[in-house]
Amino acid sequence: MNEEELYVLDPVRRKTTIRSLVRYAMHEKRAIFLGLFLLILAVGAELTGPYIAKVIIDEHIVAIEKDWVEVTEGGAVEYADRQFAKTADVPASAVLRPIAIVQSKDGYYFVPEKVVSGGERSVTDGTLTVTRGTDTYRYPDVTQLTQGQVYDFYASDLKAIGWLSLFYIILLLLAAGLNWIQQILLQRSAHKIVKRMRLDVFSHLQRLPVRYFDQTPIGKIVSRVTNDTETIRDLYLGVLARVFSGLITMAGILVAMFFLDVRLGLASLVIIPIVYFWIQLFQKLATENNFKVRSLVADMNGQLNENIQTMPIIQAYAREKEVLAEFEQKNEENYQTRSKLLRLEALMSHNLSYFLKNLTLALLIWVVAGKSLTDGTFLSLGILYAYIDYVSRLFEPVTQIMNQLSPLQQALVSADRMFQLLDEKGEDVEKGRLPRFAGRVQFKQVEFSYDPGHPVLQQIEIEARPGATIALVGHTGSGKSSIMNLLMRFYDPSAGQLLIDGQDVTTLPKQAVRDHMGIVLQDPFLFTGTIRTNITLGNPSTSDERIREAIVAVGADRFIDRLPKGLDQPVIEKGATLSAGERQLISFARALAFDPAILVLDEATASVDSETEAMIQEALLTLTKGRTTFIIAHRLSTIKDADEIIVLDRGQIAERGTHEELLGKHQIYAKMYALQSKRNLELKSS
């Protein structure tokens, strides 16, 4: 079972991940809360629209037919030398009689009495006839109004419609402005949060022990620092904003529906359990595929990183087709998994939303019909319009939330993977510093194993005097590099003691120990930058004079001075434009510039030609002078002058002594030396 499946099954990890995301968000809580508050205001402004439309329809567009009365004085409209007003605009004492303004297919008519609502209307010979089912109502003395007279009765409503429309436009502009500001706030907060995350992750990577990097593919680590944090950025930037916007919009719409009509509001509540189970079903169906996508992306990154690093080998052995087939298999699996997600989202987002919206509208018709049959009343046209508008708007945020479930799940997985990395036990960089070591190094009964039960070093006893040179030789897997790992404090002994100047190194800060140690690897790594920055590694205390002394001492000036820009010559990744010998000399100059008390040379001449080796051997005399030096060497000719040569075999010391002493024993070292000497003679003769 992979880590994504474990994550699905472990709700505790999910809660921990969410708490960690909230903790990071709290660093920008002011901006986030302000953005969400502005979002609430913007949603409120937008949702006011249907209610304003309801007011315009019910109280102004169709209001010309409602509640008109003839008054003694103070009427808003004068017609036939009489004054008229709406009931709500005058006191009851001023009312003479109710009248009506009705519309038929031929125009508007003045009726000197109140008219029943609804029905089919017709006017013949000054009589209005209203037919409602089997009932017929007649109203005599009806007068048709001219266009100007209709305008007089309708003028106040037209003015109100104008002001309400202007108010709605202002609300829309206000909502747009609020949305723009809240997006800026939330986007800026998201970028700051992810910036902090990436710095924390990279900083933590530098504190992790070498063991972690030995056991974790580099491609997966890179994926967590780049891809996973980018997915989390999308979570803060878009997913949460859209989800919050959708939830706020849904809540606002449901409140507005209750405000319009309690029955309609109650009928609309049925959508809540439907949406809840809808989301639960979608999560259940989509979760496995979402997590599989994240795992495949990490695997593809790991394979891609490995293939790029080994491209010369792939091309040399003509393995392009096989490597492409392996990548295509993962790529195809990723495509198929994403296709399943797309089909699921297509089925359960827009299509299901469209179905539920129509179902809700059907429920509206049923509620309206039931209400009309039970109490004989009808919902107003404005309420019907507003309700239909709200129902249409209701499923936009539902669909919006559904569309964010997949990114949300992916972001949670990415966050969990990133927080797993941050939860790896790191090593604090101690600020304390130690005086320069004299250089006495002692291994006392040291034992070590990378995995419990599989020792790689046993009963190691070594003592190096200050300034001495100790050479380590042995077949592959004999334990040479493990001794170097212990000396550099990449690992600590499983048993025994490692002492420097009589101090147990496990009681000293690792960084303080490494301050006085230098290392030159078999394949020296050069960073992107210049030769100068590769020697100083950004240390401002290294002067130009010190740099010059270092490159001259190791003989690197012979090629650096020929470069167009000298020390400022650009170096691309890994120093690919320089030869192996030139890279090695730069690493020698780097070690010399830092002036370590203890120097580690790990196969420093294994990958260079004989001429460069001779130059490096000359540089070594300068580099090792006055320093305790440990040399791992396969070329035994390079360690003849070592103060002590230690021969390792299967993690134990098999022989020790000087070059001459070991040759005199005629054992492992003598056989290795004789074999190399014979091979060298054969190469020279050929």
Q: Please tell me what DSSP assigns to residue 131.
A: E
**What pLDDT score was predicted for residue 1?**
44
- Distance (Å, whole) CA 57 – CA 65: 12
- Distance (Å, whole) CA 359 – CA 398: 15
Strand 644-649 versus strand 652-657 pairing type: antiparallel
Of 217-231, 255-269, 531-545, 655-669, where does the model show the most confidence? 655-669
Residue 439, pLDDT > 50, answer: yes
User: Which single residue is written with the structure tokens 């169906």?
Assistant: 285
Share of the chain above pLDDT 90, in %: 10
Average model confidence (pLDDT) for the chain?
A: 81
* pLDDT confidence tier of residue 563, bands split at 50, 70 and 90: confident
Of 234, 197, 189, the C-alpha closest to 419 is 197
Average pLDDT for residues 328-354, to the nearest whole number? 75
- Distance (Å, whole) CA 35 – CA 189: 10
Average pLDDT for residues 150-161, to the nearest whole number? 83
DSSP string, 211-234: HHHHHS-HHHHHHIIIIIHHHHHH
22-28, Cβ contacts within 8 angstroms, sequence gap of 24 or more: 24/193, 24/196, 24/197, 25/189, 25/193, 25/236, 27/192, 27/193, 27/196, 28/189, 28/192, 28/193
State residue 68 phi and psi, 5-degree precision. Answer: -90, 145
Which sign, positive or negative, has the C-alpha torsion 539, 544, 546, 550?
positive
- Strand, helix or coil for residue 624: helix
Average pLDDT for residues 496-517, to the nearest whole number? 88
* pLDDT confidence tier of residue 609, bands split at 50, 70 and 90: low
Out of 220-224, 264-268, 348-352, which region has the weakest mean confidence (pLDDT)? 348-352
Query: In sequence order, what are the residues at sequence separation of 6 or more whose Cβ sits closer than 8 angstroms to the Cβ of residue 152?
Result: 77, 78, 79
Answer yes or no: are the C-beta atoms of 80 and 149 closer than 8 Å: no
Rounded to 5°, the CA angle 91-96-100 comes to 95
Q: Domain 3-57+160-423 carries which CATH code?
A: 1.20.1560.10
**What pLDDT score was predicted for residue 466?**
92
**What pLDDT score was predicted for residue 472?**
93
Average pLDDT for residues 94-98, to the nearest whole number? 86
Residue 123, pLDDT > 50, answer: yes
Average pLDDT for residues 353-359, to the nearest whole number? 72
Sheet of 77-79, strand order: 77-79, 82-86, 68-71, 95-104, 107-111, 143-144
Of 146-160, 245-259, 466-480, 547-561, where does the model show the most confidence? 466-480
Q: Can you name the residues that pair with 144 across neighbouring β-strands? A: 109
- Strand, helix or coil for residue 283: helix
Average pLDDT for residues 448-463, to the nearest whole number? 88
**What pLDDT score was predicted for residue 9?**
45
User: Which single residue is written with the structure tokens 């913007």?
Assistant: 42
Helix (H) or strand (E) holding 267: helix 262-268
User: Which single residue is written with the structure tokens 């070059």?
Assistant: 659
Beta strands in 424-560 (DSSP E): 441-451, 454-464, 469-474, 495-500, 503-504, 517-520, 529-530
**What pLDDT score was predicted for residue 604?**
61
Query: In sequence order, what are the residues at sequence separation of 6 or more whose Cβ sits closer than 8 angstroms to the Cβ of residue 402?
Result: 278, 279, 282, 345, 348, 349, 353
- Strand, helix or coil for residue 22: helix
Q: How many CB atoms lie within 10 A of CB 522?
A: 17
* pLDDT confidence tier of residue 367, bands split at 50, 70 and 90: low
Q: Domain 435-516+629-686 classified CATH 3.40.50.300?
A: yes
Q: Range(s) for CATH 1.20.1560.10 in the chain?
A: 3-57+160-423
Query: In sequence order, what are the residues at sequence separation of 6 or more whose Cβ sits closer than 8 angstroms to the Cβ of residue 300?
Result: 327, 330, 331, 334
Average pLDDT for residues 86-105, to the nearest whole number? 82
Query: In sequence order, what are the residues at sequence separation of 6 or more whose Cβ sits closer than 8 angstroms to the Cβ of residue 170?
Result: none
Q: Range(s) for CATH 3.40.50.300 in the chain?
A: 435-516+629-686
Q: Please give the structure tokens belonging to residue 413.
A: 């997985």
Out of 60-64, 96-100, 260-264, 315-319, which region has the weakest mean confidence (pLDDT)? 60-64
Which sign, positive or negative, has the C-alpha torsion 64, 67, 71, 75?
negative
Average pLDDT for residues 430-457, to the nearest whole number? 86
Q: Would you give the distance in Å from CA 646 to the centre of its chain?
A: 51
- Distance (Å, whole) CA 550 – CA 588: 8
DSSP string, 309-356: HTHHHHHHTT-HHHHHHHHHHHHHHHHHHHHHHHHHHHIIIIIHHHHH
* pLDDT confidence tier of residue 64, bands split at 50, 70 and 90: low
DSSP string, 372-411: HHHHS----HHHHHHHHHHHHHHHHHHHHHHHHHHHHHHH
